[in-house]
């Protein structure tokens, strides 16, 4: 598992803000949306919450990239989530 994907500021290599000059490819990236979630929801939470969320998100993104082969958000389906859930049990 690659825990270096996540920093305190969000996921490396992604923008953390929506702006008028955003690359449209980024909007289709699951990694980008996870980065926004991290910045706007997780960041600043209790340290153990951040640690747990970091581990969970890293596991999921690693799983997603391994199984799907890319991080296009439209490939994230209920069946992918179910498979991940079964994988982590």
Contacts of 21 (CB under 8 A, 6+ apart): none
Residue 10 backbone phi and psi in degrees, to 5: 135, -160
Task: Say how far apart CA 30 and CA 64 lie, in whole Å.
Answer: 9
Q: Is residue 16 part of a domain?
A: no
Residue with tokens 């980065």: 35
Q: Is residue 66 part of a domain?
A: yes
Q: Is residue 73 part of a domain?
A: yes
The residue segments making up the domain with residue 71 are: 21-88
Confidence band, pLDDT 50/70/90 cuts, at residue 89? confident
Render pLDDT for 47-61 as a digit per residue (tens, 0 to 9): 999 999 999 999 999
Q: Is residue 12 part of a domain?
A: no
Q: Is residue 8 part of a domain?
A: no
Cα–Cα–Cα angle for 3, 69, 53, rounded to 5 degrees: 30
Count the domains in the chain: 1
- Residue 3's pLDDT is 44
- pTM here is 0.71
């Amino acid at each position: 598992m690659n825990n270096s994907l996540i920093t305190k500021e969000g996921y490396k290599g992604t923008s953390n803000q929506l702006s008028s000059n955003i690359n449209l490819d980024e909007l289709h990236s699951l990694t980008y949306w996870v980065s926004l979630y991290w910045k706007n929801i997780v960041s600043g939470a209790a340290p153990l919450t951040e640690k747990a969320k970091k581990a969970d998100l890293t596991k999921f993104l690693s799983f997603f990239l391994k199984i799907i082969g890319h991080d296009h958000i439209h490939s994230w389906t209920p069946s992918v989530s179910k498979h991940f859930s079964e994988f982590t049990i």
